[in-house]
Amino acid sequence: MRRVLVVICACLLLLGGCSSKPVRHLASDASLIKPGVSTRNDVLRYLGEPNGHRTVSPGVEEYVYYQDRKGLLGKAPVIGSWVGGEGYEMIVITLKGDLVTSCEYRVFNEVDRDWVNDFTWEEVK
């Protein structure tokens, strides 16, 4: 009986490792979009609905896709959700009408803003 219980627990633990959620790779997704060639439908088919959307001017829109970048321990199964990320990545796509005019991939790290703490600030009089 004890052996059966151990086998069932082992199977449950191993099956838990098989579950996963879809992974998004923004860097490779950005390479699918070609300015001057890709259309709005291509963007929505390859990247899905954007995380953000804004109208820049009449007929010109921007779609923004972003996701957090996890550090080394952020990818660990149990403690990953407790560990903060090391930054985020973003794709900004500009559309004029239904045609993509630009596609920019950007990466931001937490250390990018460390200069704020080191800078000697002067008071404005």
Q: What is the CA radius of gyration of the chain?
A: 22
How confident is the model over 10-26, as pLDDT tens digits? Answer: 666 666 555 555 666 78
pLDDT digits (tens, 9 = 90+) for 42-89: 999 999 999 999 999 999 999 999 887 776 666 666 666 666 667 788
CA gap 69, 87 in Å, rounded: 5
Q: 95 in helix, strand or coil?
A: strand
Element spanning 100, H or E: strand 99-109
Q: What are the residue ranges of helices labelled H in 1-125?
A: 2-16, 26-31, 40-47, 115-118
pTM of this structure? 0.66
Domains of the chain with CATH codes: 22-108 (3.30.1450.10)
For 25, the token pair is: 């790779």
